[in-house]
Structure 1
Amino acid sequence: MSKIVLITGASRGFGKIWAEALLQRGDKVAATARNLESIEDLVEKYGNSVLPIELDVNKREDCFAAVQQVQEHFGKIDILINNAGYGLFGTIEETTEKEAKDQFETNFFGLLWMTQAVLPIMRNQRSGHIIQVSSFLGLITIPVLGLYTASKFAVEGLSETLATEVKEFGIHVSLIEPNGFSTDWSGASSYHTEPMEVYAPLKKEFFESATPDSFGEPNATTEAILKLIDTSNPPLRLLLGKIAYPAVKGIYEERLKSWSEWKTVSDNAHGK
């Protein structure tokens, strides 16, 4: 049975790849983008199976209107994939107030607005699956992507909490946590802070450390996404790529070791 899937940020990268994979197998897709020209090819190829919606997820009212449009057009929404987002490259000190707020407006608040908008529909259906595109950088950190990482840590906390709140309504929540992939996420879709010379050596080391092997092939993710969508008991978290698991595992082992070493201090801080 075909599914009704709403995907934000469907103009390029993962969003467009996943939208086409779903359409190819017969699902119906509501695809949002800031510029509808970027998804005209999907409409031409798949016709009425695609509902193109112009949307800036930073605008809460527009998010609610877009969700209502999908509901009225297709009659239901089985899956929401919150994919809209971008990368902000720069150190913490370099980041301006506007850059920091804009990063959270899209990566966190845009996702929150779409989630809030779809929940009443899924509650009434007593079914649904909300898939949040996070990152393995929502679990660990690296230099030069501090604000991006912070926004994804926020998405992780929000979504894990949400999963406990909506389970009784038959709604599943999953976090997708990719490592780096060869999309234009770090190219045309990204922003860079105004550089400070003092951080030049750090940033040089950071950018030179990225080898071709560090990045996965975007099209290879479709099998995982379709499997996640089709399973009756989806996981809360799904890492994507060969880099993510060992990176996260190593950091969490370090954290557990540190917490264990300081456990007596922690216990004593509780009082009697």
Structure 2
Amino acid sequence: MKLKNKTILITGGSGGIGKIIAKKLAKDGNKLILVARKKNELKKIVNKLGNNHQYVVCDLSKAKSINKLITKLSKTLNKLDILFNVAGIGIYKNLENLTDKEWTQSLATNVTAPYRLIKGLLPLLKKSSKPLVVNIGSGAGTVGMKGRSAYVASKFALRGLSLTLSEEYKDQNLAFILITLGSILNSFGPLSLEEKIKLKKKGKAYFAPEWVVNKIIKITESKNPKKEYVLYPT
């Protein structure tokens, strides 16, 4: 089922795989709303995508900013067909070096923001004929990793939230998909893109960002999607 004439919100739309998802879906009559903190980046992207799309600047780590976003969309949209929760941050520190602020920021961005967006946008989602929430998870949400307590905890929580809501709404025409991803060849994570490229040359497996996005879109277009997909590079 090709995505056509859909109203789609993408968090993290100013960079990484969120930006690539936006480029892939900015056609076929779709209306995109890109959400991120970087106004200049968002403006550049939306200008390139065309007049049918818009952006909203939002700090997803702050409830006040999210509430403003929800209020604005509730006034301007008739419905929301798909919510992509892509935005995330990675803070990679041992417990003893981790600050309370970093812990709070990790949880706020990676799991509390999706929770607030899903809950706040439910009325718009329910107006769609086939509403869908796509949560981008991580392999870090399935296994403990040293030096990554804040990130791992946040991704475990997102996984639990997505799987639980999938059960909670399975009889209400609202689907939730969790896409658990392995390492991607980009700048996100404890290693720089340059460091990853060096490791790749030595045999380390990484996903190409374009491949990942094509897979995400294919999953999103599934007629009867599963509640969780796990993708690891080989």
Q: Same fold (TM over 0.5)?
A: yes
Aligned to 2:106: 103
Q: Is 1:36 the counterpart of 2:44 in the alignment?
A: no
- Secondary structure at the aligned position of 2:116 is classed as helix
Q: How many residues align?
A: 225
Letter in 2 for 1:110: A
Q: Is the 8 A contact 2:163 2:228 kept in 1?
A: no
Superposed CA RMSD in Å reads 2.3
Q: Give TM-score scaled by structure 1 length.
A: 0.76
Normalized per residue, the structure richer in helix is 1
Q: Is 1:91 the counterpart of 2:82 in the alignment?
A: no
Aligned to 2:56: 53
Matches within 5 A, 1:227-266: 227-243=218-234
Q: Is the 8 A contact 2:14 2:45 kept in 1?
A: no
Q: Is 1:9 the counterpart of 2:12 in the alignment?
A: yes
Letter in 1 for 2:148: L
Distance in 2 of aligned mates of 1:51 and 1:169: 29
Distance in 2 of aligned mates of 1:129 and 1:181: 24
Q: Is the 8 A contact 1:182 1:217 kept in 2?
A: yes
Q: Is 1:217 the counterpart of 2:208 in the alignment?
A: yes
Distance in 2 of aligned mates of 1:242 and 1:131: 20
Q: Is 1:160 the counterpart of 2:163 in the alignment?
A: yes
Offset from partner CA, 1:165-203 (integer Å, 9 cap, x none): 1122200001111111122212699xxxxxxxxxxxxxx
Distance in 1 of aligned mates of 2:230 and 2:109: 22
Distance in 2 of aligned mates of 1:24 and 1:221: 19
* Structure 1 segments of 4+ aligned residues over 6 angstroms from their partners: none
Larger Rg: 1
Offset from partner CA, 1:207-233 (integer Å, 9 cap, x none): 99x922332111111221221221121
Question: How far apart are 1:26 and its partner, in Å?
Answer: 4.2
Question: How far apart are 1:11 and its partner, in Å?
Answer: 1.0
Q: Is the 8 A contact 1:129 1:173 kept in 2?
A: yes
Q: Is the 8 A contact 1:71 1:77 kept in 2?
A: no
Percent of residue pairs identical: 28
Distance in 1 of aligned mates of 2:105 and 2:86: 16
Letter in 2 for 1:21: K
Matches within 5 A, 1:92-131: 92-125=95-128, 127-131=130-134
